[in-house]
Amino acid sequence: MHSFYPLYIENNFPQLQSTHFGIILAIFEVANLVTSLVLGMYIGQVKRKNLIIFSYFILFLGTLAFTGLPLLRSEQYMTFFILSLAFRVVQGTASAAIQICAYSFATNEMNNEKETYIGYVEMALGVGDMIGPAIGSIIYDYSGFTGAFICFSGMVMVGIILSIVQIPNTLNKRSETRSVENESESDNLDAIEDQTDSQQSREYQDLRYIDFLTNIECLVLLLSACFSVVFTLYIDVILAVYIHSHYGIKQNLIGLFFFLPSIFYVIGAPLSAWLSRVIHKRYVVLISFILMVFQSFCEGPSQLFGMPNSIILIIVGVSILGLCLSMALVPLLSELIEILEGMDKYDPDQISDITSGLFNSMFNLGNLLAPLIAGILNDSHGYVYTCDFMMITAAIYCVFFYFTMIFGRKLT
Q: Is residue 192 part of a domain?
A: no
Domain around 122: 5-177+207-405
Whether residue 349 contacts residue 109, with contact meaning beta carbons closer than 8 Å, is answered with no
Specify the CATH number for the domain of residue 315. 1.20.1250.20
Whether residue 411 contacts residue 283, with contact meaning beta carbons closer than 8 Å, is answered with yes
What whole-number distance in Å separates Cα of residue 392 and Cα of residue 163?
A: 43
Whether residue 281 contacts residue 331, with contact meaning beta carbons closer than 8 Å, is answered with yes
Q: Is residue 84 part of a domain?
A: yes
Q: Is residue 196 part of a domain?
A: no
Residue 180 has pLDDT above 60, yes or no: no
- Nearest alpha carbon to residue 295 among 235, 255, 241, 382: 235
Whether residue 384 contacts residue 246, with contact meaning beta carbons closer than 8 Å, is answered with no
Q: Is residue 148 part of a domain?
A: yes
Q: Is residue 183 part of a domain?
A: no
What whole-number distance in Å separates Cα of residue 131 and Cα of residue 219?
A: 31
- For 81-120, the pLDDT digits (tens) are 999 999 999 999 998 888 777 776 666 655 556 556 666 6
Share in percent of the chain as helix, strand, coil (round to 5): 85, 0, 15
- For 230-269, the pLDDT digits (tens) are 999 899 878 888 998 888 888 767 777 877 887 888 788 7
What whole-number distance in Å separates Cα of residue 180 and Cα of residue 174?
A: 10
Q: In the chain, pLDDT over 70 holds for what percent of residues?
A: 83
Identify the DSSP state of 109: T
Q: What are the phi and psi torsion angles at 202 (to 5°)?
A: -70, 155
Range 152-167 average pLDDT: 88
Query: What's residue 174's pLDDT?
Result: 52
Q: Is residue 410 part of a domain?
A: no
Q: Is residue 202 part of a domain?
A: no
Buried b (16+ CB within 10 A) or exposed e, 119-157: bbbbbebbbebbbbbbbbbbbbbeeebeebbbbbbeebb
Give the number of domains in the chain.
1
Buried b (16+ CB within 10 A) or exposed e, 258-294: bbbbbebbbebbbbbbebbeeebbbbbbbbbbbbbbb
Query: What's residue 185's pLDDT?
Result: 47
Range 365-372 average pLDDT: 84
Identify the DSSP state of 202: S
Q: In the chain, pLDDT over 90 holds for what percent of residues?
A: 32
Residue count (the chain) = 412
Q: Is residue 191 part of a domain?
A: no
What is the three-class DSSP state of 97? helix
What is the three-class DSSP state of 205? strand
- Could you give the C-alpha distances from 111 to 44, 173, 248, in angstroms and in order? 15, 18, 49
Query: What's residue 109's pLDDT?
Result: 58
What whole-number distance in Å separates Cα of residue 43 and Cα of residue 30?
A: 19
